[in-house]
Amino acid sequence: MSESETVPQQSDGPRGGGRIPEVPGFAPRTTHGDPDSAPSPKREGKALRDRIPRSSHDSLVLAVARPDAVQAVEESSRGRVPELAPIRVGRMAASPFAFLRGSAGLMAHDLVGTPVTGVSAQICGDAHAANFGIYGDVRGGLVIDLNDFDETVVGPWEWDLKRLAASLVLAGRVAGADETVCRAAAFDAVGSYRRTMRLLSKLPSMDAWNAIADEKLVSHTDARDLVGTLEKVSAKARNNTGARFAAKATEECGDGGRRFVDAPPVLRRVSDAEAAAVATSLGGYLSTVSEDRLPLLARYTIHDVAFRVVGTGSVGTRSYVVLLLDHRGEALVLQVKEARASALLPYLQAAGFPEPQAEHEGRRVVFGQKRMQVISDILLGWTTVDGRPFQVRQFRNRKGSVDPAALTPDQFDDYGRMTGALLARAHAHSADPRLLAGYCGKSEELDEAVAHFAVAYADRTEADHAELLAAIKNGRIEAEMGV
């Protein structure tokens, strides 16, 4: 061998092992297949049961200083558009389930006193039964997932699960289901969450990350009674596009373009100055969108802006629809929606979780959505309008949803299982499914406890709703019903 030839150096340890340094951001090296080589997330999860027994999640101890229903509604309305407050109150007054939908902050106040394991996850913050739905992916297919992230934060996974369970009880009661059916839906949702987390903990990491985002979820959760309902929702969702909305909500202008038509109080035109501020803000939005989407957006021209009232809990936030047209006159509608601080924010520290650092609230919503969903809107982004933070997304991107309060009694347990599985998959993007599976375990202890909590909290919410109705009747608070 000549002196110019290189002699391979012998490693001192196993190939691919000791010679490769550990890199921050990746898991520490362990010996695969050796359960004693490193602390096991599953064992850590099991150990948490000693400190926070699963049976303890049945507790509901309300604070003495708890605000009443009217105080809670008024507090959550601060900073919103004042003239829309009666619409928001009217929508919350429609039923106890509707009241729960608009009172995420009040429930967070109540959840502070409940047990938490200290395991954090990116949580929805408002994981009630109506915040799951169908929407379109980039190839025109439909996926099923959580679809509202206004309150998303890093916090206790238990809060999402308990809010889902309580909402199923309330939705069942509104639908006229008996108490056994309502409790079973909550019980089945928790059981499905637990079993799905266990399944995800056993899958290869990439498979677990991309799991159950389409119609296969129905068979996975044994939700056969939902098939017909989901097929109807899917068929409707395929036609629920921004282009169809634009065709109904706009009219032709003399210059060949289109503009929105007033339809008060839900849709109204805005002043030229307000429209210009929203349109101009989309320049900043472009810097928040994935760079490969910019050529697509560059093919559209902004034509008009209108204000549109949305949701139940969201009523009163500033929300705009922006009409864009391509070279063929085909419409794309973007929603520019105000992003307020999460309603859970004041309660995280009391629950033992650090308060997030101040950031753009639109960015918080977008990043939370991307962390929890398998597939997200390709045009998600954020911007600032007149100093206020906003999120930006496609409007009516083939979206459809099941109204849980309209389900038949034999569908409630199926719907509970489906939503429980979706919630587990969403949490597993940020919390280690092995850790949560270790805590939740194989028994039905957690299912029983959270179902008990759900019934108790549903009772409390019905009492809050009754207080709101009484306050509307005696004139303490104004409501515009049926809007």
List, as one string, the DSSP characters of 331-353: EEEEEEEE-PPPTTGGGTGGGT-
> What's the number of CA atoms in the CB half-sphere (13 Å) around residue 145?
26
Helix extents (H) in 93-226: 96-101, 104-111, 157-175, 179-202, 205-209, 216-220
Beta-bridged to residue 453, according to DSSP, are none
Per-residue pLDDT, 1:
47
State the DSSP code for 263: B
- Residues 373, 145: contact at Cβ < 8 Å? yes
- What is the rounded CA–CA span in Å between residue 360 and residue 378? 20
- Residues 125, 153: contact at Cβ < 8 Å? yes
Per-residue pLDDT, 223:
62
pTM of the entire predicted model:
0.91
> What's the number of CA atoms in the CB half-sphere (13 Å) around residue 206?
0
Q: Order of strands, edge to edge, in the sheet holding 400-401? A: 142-146, 132-136, 400-401
What the block records as the tokens of 76 is 């959550």
- Is residue 417 classed exposed, middle or buried when 0-12, 13-18 and 19+ CB atoms within 10 A define those classes? buried
Residues 221-249: tens digit of each pLDDT:
666 666 677 777 788 778 888 889 999 99
Amino acid letter for position 49: R
Count of residues for the chain?
Answer: 483
Q: How far is CA 308 from CA 15, 84, 183, 281, 381, in A?
A: 61, 11, 37, 17, 19
Give residues with Cβ within 8 angstroms of 283, minimum separation 6. none
- What is the rounded CA–CA span in Å between residue 305 and residue 303? 7
Domain boundary assignment for the chain: 41-233+403-473, 242-394
Instruction: Name the nearest CA neighbour of 160 among 480, 410, 426.
Output: 426
- What is the rounded CA–CA span in Å between residue 431 and residue 156? 10
Q: State phi, psi for 52 to the nearest 5 degrees.
A: -125, 85
Ranges of the chain with pLDDT below 50: 1-4, 11, 13-14, 35-37
What the block records as the tokens of 312 is 């139940």
- Residues 462, 191: contact at Cβ < 8 Å? no
What the block records as the tokens of 346 is 């004041």
- Give the Cβ contact number of residue 51 at 10 Å: 10
CA angle, residues 225, 231, 235, in degrees to nearest 5: 160
- What is the rounded CA–CA span in Å between residue 406 and residue 424? 24
- What is the rounded CA–CA span in Å between residue 265 and residue 262? 9
Residues of the chain by 3-state class (helix, strand, coil), percent to 5: 45, 15, 40
Per-residue pLDDT, 35:
45
Q: How far is CA 336 from CA 20, 362, 400, 402, in A?
A: 47, 10, 20, 24
What the block records as the tokens of 195 is 């079993």
- Spell 138-174 as b/e; 16+ CB within 10 A means b: eeeebbbbbbbbbbbbbbbbbbbbbbbbbbbbbbbbb
- DSSP secondary structure of 199-245: HHHHS-HHHHHT-S-STHHHHHTT-GGGHHHHHHHHHHHHT--HHHH
- What is the rounded CA–CA span in Å between residue 375 and residue 458? 32
Amino acid letter for position 6: T
Per-residue pLDDT, 235:
80
Torsion, CA 49, CA 54, CA 56, CA 57, rounded to 10: 130
